[in-house]
Amino acid sequence: MPAYPFPLMLFAAGFGTRMKALTADRPKPLIPVTGRALIDHALDVATAADVGRIVVNTHYRAEQMAAHLAGSGVTISHEADRILETGGGLKAALPLLGDGPVAILNSDGIWTGANPLQTLAVAWDNTRMEALLLLLPLDRTRAHGPKGDFRVDAEGRLSRGAGGEDHVYIGAQIINPDRVRAFPDEVFSLNRVWDQMIAAGTAFGVLHPGDWCDVGHPEGIAEAERLLHDARHG
C-alpha cells in the first residue's frame, strides 16, 4: 500500500495566459523545463512521496493532457463545458478523490529540497486545521513578483488583507474539503474558501525547507532551470 496518507489533486486545467505564445499550441503543464514537461516534475514529487491516488483536472487542450498522461495511472477530472477555477475544479473532482483531507499541487512550480507533500503531511493536524499551505518568505521565492500572500503568526495561523503579507503560497497544500463541497457556486477560487478558514482560525501555513520557482510566466522557465541545476550540482 502507498505510504502517503492523502489523495492528491493536481491542478492542470488553466489557460496559461501569462505564458503568452508558449501556450498557443499546448497547455501550460506541457511546457518543458530542463527537457521535461512541468506536469512531470510535479508527478515526480508525488512519486517520491509515494502518493497512491492522483487526480488531474483538464480543460484547455485537454486531449494533449490526456495523451501525455496515458498509462501513468492518474485519473482525469475533465472540465468540459467551462473552466471551474481552483475551488470548482476541486469540488468537481471530490467524487474521484474520496473522503477526507486532500493534498493539492499546482503544476506550474518547481520545488527543490525536502519533498513538499511530505513536509505538509508531517505538519498536518486534523484537530485544528482545515487547510495547511506550504509557504516561503517573499524574499526567498524565485520569479514570483513583489507581493506576498499571507502573514503568519507564531502558531502558524494565516491572515491577510491588512498589509504586511510577507509569505508566499507556493502551490502545495492539504485541505479538508468540507467547505469546498458545501460551497454554493460551481465556479470559484479556493481563495474564497481560504477566507472562510482564516476567519475561523483554521488556516495554517508551514515553511518549505527548500527552494521554489514560479513557472507561471516565460521568465520563470530559465530561473527554474537554474534552480534545478544548482540543486543537482551544488
CA–CA separation, 91 and 175 (whole Å): 12
Residues 105, 11: contact at Cβ < 8 Å? Answer: yes
pLDDT (0 to 100) of residue 162: 85
First and final C-alpha spacing in the chain: 34
3 state SS of 28: helix
Q: Residue 91 pLDDT more than 70?
A: yes
Give the pLDDT confidence of 39-74 residue by residue, as tens digits. 999 999 999 999 999 999 999 999 999 999 999 999
What DSSP assignment string belongs to 148-206? --BEE-TT-BEE-SSS---EEEEEEEEE-THHHHH-S-SS--HHHHHHHHHHHT-EEEE
pTM of the shown model: 0.97
Domains of the chain in start order, with CATH, are 8-233 (3.90.550.10)
